[in-house]
Chain A
Amino acid sequence: ELKVEQNPLFLSMQEGKNYTIYCNYSTTSDRLYWYRQDPGKSLESLFVLLSNGAVKQEGRLMASLDTKARLSTLHITAAVHDLSATYFCAVDDSGNTPLVFGKGTRLSVIA
């Protein structure tokens, strides 16, 4: 059974600081997704990582995937208040299996 673990689950950061969210998963997979969710809203796709060593960046967020370590990271650079949200990583094995989500990291960026 595929398991996905995120840490930390809660993160309070000061504006301007850097931090990393970690996502570990339990089976071999080369497809990992990061989503953002604002309170009461749906999931917004941030990154799709499709191969070992994949690195993608958008604004202050950068995601990477190490399939050998079964680890993905979401790095936040110089945080701003607008980044406050819950971030989920999700993994699927082959498309015939469901997308399995981590519990999410609730990020709060404070002044």
Chain B
Amino acid sequence: ETGVTQSPTHLIKTRGQQVTLRCSSQSGHNTVSWYQQALGQGPQFIFQYYREEENGRGNFPPRFSGLQFPNYSSELNVNALELDDSALYLCASSPRDRVRGYTFGSGTRLTVV
């Protein structure tokens, strides 16, 4: 089975710009979650999608938005980038029952300068 694929792997953006990160979920997984991990911290939940609908959101401002597509792949969009948005962004997919837990992608390292 294929795992979770994220693109790009690294990205450098300027403050104020917009960015789109992409995630292909593992085959058979219909739930996708996005996490932000700052250096030296645990991952923080951004939002989750189930069957193309947002199904939970963490404490992130509206400039963080997302989409899930019919094939369960997903995008994370961040507008008006700030320096504090620099982090590792992780996508995780799971089946609805989470019996085998969540599978994480390799992440996108975003640097905002």
Contacts and interface: CB of A to CB of B under 8 A. Distances in A.
Do A and B form a real pair?
A: yes
Interface of A: 31, 33, 35, 40-45, 48, 50, 88, 92, 95-104
A88 to B, nearest CB: 6
B107 interface: yes
A34 B107 CA distance: 18
12 contacts: A42-B105, A42-B106, A42-B107, A45-B102, A45-B103, A50-B99, A88-B42, A97-B56, A98-B33, A98-B56, A99-B33, A103-B41
Nearest to B105: A42
Contact of A95 (B96, B100, B103): B96
A41 B99 contact: no
B58 interface: yes
Interface string B33-64: 10100000111110010000001101000000
A98 B42 contact: no
Nearest to A95: B98
Interface of B: 31, 33, 35, 41-45, 48, 55-56, 58, 88, 90, 92, 96-107, 109
Could you tell me the dominant secondary structure of chain A's interface residues? Answer: loop
Interface centre among B44, B56, B97, B102 (most CB of A within 10 A): B102
A61 B99 CA distance: 20
Contact of A92 (B90, B96, B98, B106): B98
4 smallest A-B Cβ distances: which pairs? A98-B45, A101-B42, A48-B101, A43-B104
A70 B101 CA distance: 19
B67 to A, nearest CB: 18
Contacts of B55: 96
A33 B102 contact: yes
Contact of B90 (A43, A50, A102): A43
Contacts of A88: 42-43
Contacts of A97: 56
Contacts of A45: 101-104
